[in-house]
Amino acid sequence: MDDIDTAIASLEGWEEAKSNLAGCIIHFQYIERLLSISISALSGIDQEVGDIVTNEMSFRARLATFSALLTHRAETGQLPKDIEELIKRIIRAEQERNRLVHSLWVFAEDKPGVINRQKSSIRKNRYSTQDEDVSLEELEETESSFVGIIDDIFYTLTKYYPSIEKKLQDAEI
pLDDT digits (tens, 9 = 90+) for 80-139: 999 999 999 999 999 999 999 999 999 887 788 888 999 998 999 999 999 999 999 999
What's the one-letter identity of residue 30? Answer: Y
- pLDDT for res 107: 82
Q: What is 120-169 written as a DSSP string? A: EEEETTEEEEEEEEEEHHHHHHHHHHHHHHHHHHHHHHHHH-GGGHHHHH
Q: How far apart are CA 24 and CA 99, in angstroms?
A: 11
* Nearest partner of 45 among 171, 155, 153, judged by Cα: 171
pTM score:
0.89
Domain map (residue ranges) of the chain: 3-101+137-170
